């Protein structure tokens, strides 16, 4: 996948079963559990395709939302540049073990989006 492109999305809800029924019946999406450190996270697939998004069961701990994610070469650098341009980093997880670096950023107008990079 190419850097600086939107290629993942996430739907967060405190009622993931209803969201599965809604999106599954509306668009034909399928869902599969993802073992992600104890989170209720389910991979979303379009019919016949690879995972393209996730359904996050918030257990009521976060407001419901839908957000897009942009793949980047360097999460730290992207966060730094975003803040220089008037944005604000809300959450950042960067490490060196296999997995994913990611951050949620609010742009200058208040919209939230995600950036990520898969660690090898």
120 residues of the chain, pLDDT tens digit each: 789 999 999 999 999 999 999 999 999 999 999 876 778 999 999 888 888 999 999 999 988 989 999 999 999 999 999 999 999 999 999 998 888 999 999 999 899 999 999 987
> Which uninterrupted H or E stretch holds 77?
helix 75-84
> Which uninterrupted H or E stretch holds 24?
helix 16-27
pLDDT attached to residue 48: 84
pTM of structure: 0.78
pLDDT attached to residue 35: 74
pLDDT attached to residue 47: 87
Looking at 3.10.180.10, 3.30.420.40, 1.10.260.40, 3.30.70.2740, the CATH number of the domain 5-119 comes to: 3.10.180.10
Separation between Cα atoms, residue 114 and residue 103, nearest integer Å: 6
Separation between Cα atoms, residue 87 and residue 89, nearest integer Å: 7
């Amino acid at each position: 996948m190419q850097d600086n492109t939107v290629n993942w999305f996430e739907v967060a809800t405190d009622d993931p079963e209803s969201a599965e029924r809604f999106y599954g019946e509306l668009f034909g999406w399928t869902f599969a559990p993802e073992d992600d450190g104890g989170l209720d996270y389910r991979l979303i697939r379009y019919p016949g395709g690879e995972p393209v998004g996730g359904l996050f069961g918030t257990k009521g701990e976060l407001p419901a939302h839908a957000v897009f994610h942009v793949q980047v070469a360097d999460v730290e650098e992207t966060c730094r540049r975003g803040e220089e341009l008037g944005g604000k980093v809300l959450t950042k997880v960067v490490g060196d073990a296999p997995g994913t670096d990611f951050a949620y950023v609010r742009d200058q107008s208040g919209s939230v989006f995600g950036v990520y990079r898969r660690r090898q």
